[in-house]
Structure 1
Amino acid sequence: MTFRPVKSTHMAQPTMEGAGVHLHRVFGFGDPSDSDPFLLLDDFRNDDPQAYEKGFPWHPHRGIETITYVLEGEVDHGDSLGNRGTLGAGSVQWMTAGSGILHQEMPRGNAAGQMHGFQLWANLPSAQKMTTPRYQDIAGSDIPEVIEDDGTRARVITGSFWGVRGPVDGIAAEPQYLDISMPPNTRRVLPVDTYANTFAYVFAGAARFRDASAPVGVRVEKEVAGEEINIRDMSGNRTLVRFDTGDEISVTSGPEGARFLLVSGRPIEEPVAWHGPIVMNTRAELQQAMRDLNNGTFIKPVH
């Protein structure tokens, strides 16, 4: 077994998307090879409805999959195929845009006005860029959760983990998408696919990952499972951790515990031509997509 060293860490950056939704961009619109097959991750959370209620009105997607994971509040969605629905707290929507879809996503807060969710974009290989669009809406109650003896919890959205398989299937990149919660001052070793690109996104508490040059979290000095922990004064909240190669990740939670997404997928390693929510392989394909949008042929007949 080989522990994955940390390749880099950085903080999510505030930005605005849609009709004025305030969010933090974890990564996106940079070098797509950095996270191949993943293109973008946004963390949208706010306690002020004015910062999110205008939502993401009608917009196109082609050539990618979008994964929306809601923690607090709800997201109403609709699309050009006539689908309508609401994602509640704890639920996931995995949308394969394929040949093209127009949709909208409108967040609503909970009773306290809180809204929190993530959206991840995954690339599609060239052979599936123009596949028929489809949705997989998974209720929170249908996402399995594994609980270990030390109190560590893992919600398994897709892929296999600790003997449990997530409900989302048929995904091009064979990804693993986990929501992991750890109690305070706990060390775990987590298995990952050796051949997959892997990242963690800490969104609550603090964590220290093995070999991190700039550990994530607050200062805590404690002997945990024989390992001296010395985490410097950094906020674990909204920190992306990218890993190098290996088949295991060592993580130790801080004094308030830790919660993070752990996501991995096998790289596609194909050229990327990218314009906003449309991702193709060549500039010519991208230009054709824009022509389709302009002349009303973007949405292809479903056979």
Structure 2
Amino acid sequence: MSIRPILETRKATPAIEGAGVRLHRAFGFQDPTELDPFLLFDDFRNEHPADYMRGFPWHPHRGIETITYVLAGTVEHSDSLGNSGTLGAGDVQWMTAGSGILHQEMPRGNATGQMHGFQLWGNLPSSQKMTAPRYQDVSSRDIPEVIDDDGTRVRVIVGEFWGKTGPVDGIAADPQYLDVFVPAGVKKTFRIDTYRRAFAYVFEGQGAFADASAPTGVLLEKEVAGQELNIRDMSGDRTLVRFGTGDEITVQAGPEGVRFLLISGAPIAEPVAWHGPIVMNTQDELRQAFKELRNGTFIRPAH
């Protein structure tokens, strides 16, 4: 087995989207090959309703899939296909925009005004860019959770892990999406298929990830002597950790434990033409999409 090297560790940066929603963006609208097949990852977390209540009014998508994972508060959604509903704490929605959809997402806080959730964009290969749109809404109670003897907890949202299979399926990127908690002081290793691109996003506590590319620092150092990770740099709240190629990642939890999303997927390795909420393969396809938006033919009739 080989530990994946850490290619980069960086903090999510403040951004404003929709009708003025204040959020933090871990990646997006930069180099689409960096975490192929994933394009964008937003952490929308706030305790001030004025900073999120105006939400994300009607907007289009084509050529991508989005996964929305809610931790606190709710998200009310509706779309041009006639779907509508509410995502609550722990719920997940995977939307395949395919050939095109118009939808809106309106966050609402919990009893104390807190709102917290994540949205991830996954690219679609050229063969599925114009597929029929669809939704998968998954209730929190249907997401399996695995608890190890050392107290490590993993919610399996997509993919297979520790004998459990997440309820979301049929996703083009063949992803694995895990919500992981490692208790204070525990060192834990997680297997990831070598062919997948992978990243972790820390959102509670702190942890040090082993780095196979460094002889010192965040590293399994002198493990034969039973020593813990040599912690040079602890990754804390709103930190993205981007991994290179390997079979596994190892994390040493800090004094309060660490909770993070561990996400991986198979690269699509195709050209990307991207503007706003629409992602195609060529500039001509992108121009055509926006032409259809203008002339009212963006939404394809159901077959």
Structure 1 and Structure 2 fold alike (TM over 0.5): yes
Partner of 1:127, secondary structure, is: helix
* Aligned position for 1:104: 104
Cα distance between partner residues in 2 of 1:237 and 1:227: 26
* Aligned position for 2:88: 88
* Aligned position for 2:23: 23
Deviations 1:123-144 (A, max 9, x none): 0000000000000000011000
Question: Which amino acid counterpart does residue 80 of structure 1 have in structure 2?
Answer: S
Deviations 1:271-298 (A, max 9, x none): 0000001000000000000000000000
1:215–1:205 distance in 2 versus 1, CA, 3 Å? farther
* Aligned position for 2:8: 8
* Aligned position for 2:54: 54
* Aligned position for 1:219: none
Question: Which amino acid counterpart does residue 274 of structure 2 have in structure 1?
Answer: W
* Aligned position for 2:146: 146
* Aligned position for 1:185: 185
* Aligned position for 2:157: 157
Question: Which amino acid counterpart does residue 129 of structure 2 have in structure 1?
Answer: K
Instruction: For 1:189-208, list aligned pairs within 5 A.
Output: 189-208=189-208
Question: Which amino acid counterpart does residue 76 of structure 1 have in structure 2?
Answer: E
**What's the C-alpha RMSD, in Å, of the aligned pairs?**
1.7
Cα distance between partner residues in 1 of 2:244 and 2:167: 28
Cα distance between partner residues in 1 of 2:19 and 2:204: 27
Displacement of 1:235: 5.8
Question: Which amino acid counterpart does residue 136 of structure 2 have in structure 1?
Answer: Q
Matched, 1:256 2:246: no
Question: Which amino acid counterpart does residue 236 of structure 2 have in structure 1?
Answer: G
Question: Which amino acid counterpart does residue 293 of structure 1 have in structure 2?
Answer: L
* Aligned position for 1:273: 273
* Aligned position for 1:220: none
Cα distance between partner residues in 2 of 1:282 and 1:235: 37
Partner of 2:54, secondary structure, is: coil
Displacement of 1:256: 0.5
Displacement of 1:230: 4.3
Q: Share of identical aligned residues, percent?
A: 71
Question: Which amino acid counterpart does residue 184 of structure 2 have in structure 1?
Answer: P
Normalising by the residue count of structure 2, what TM-score does the alignment of the two structures yield?
Answer: 0.95
Partner of 1:227, secondary structure, is: coil
* Aligned position for 1:73: 73
Partner of 1:32, secondary structure, is: coil
Question: Which amino acid counterpart does residue 81 of structure 2 have in structure 1?
Answer: L
Matched, 1:121 2:121: yes
Question: Which amino acid counterpart does residue 141 of structure 1 have in structure 2?
Answer: R
Cα distance between partner residues in 2 of 1:157 and 1:215: 32
Cα distance between partner residues in 1 of 2:301 and 2:193: 37
Structure 1 unaligned blocks of 5 or more: 217-222
Q: Size of the alignment, in residue pairs?
A: 297
Displacement of 1:229: 3.5
CA contact (8 A) 1:207 1:215 kept: no
Cα distance between partner residues in 2 of 1:95 and 1:9: 29
Question: Which amino acid counterpart does residue 198 of structure 1 have in structure 2?
Answer: A
Displacement of 1:232: 4.8
Displacement of 1:215: 7.3
1:181–1:57 distance in 2 versus 1, CA, 3 Å? same
CA contact (8 A) 1:195 1:266 kept: yes
Question: Which amino acid counterpart does residue 89 of structure 1 have in structure 2?
Answer: A
CA contact (8 A) 2:90 2:139 kept: yes
Cα distance between partner residues in 2 of 1:180 and 1:198: 14
Displacement of 1:231: 3.3
CA contact (8 A) 1:202 1:237 kept: yes
Displacement of 1:226: 2.1
Cα distance between partner residues in 1 of 2:123 and 2:79: 20
Deviations 1:160-194 (A, max 9, x none): 00111000000001100000011101011101011
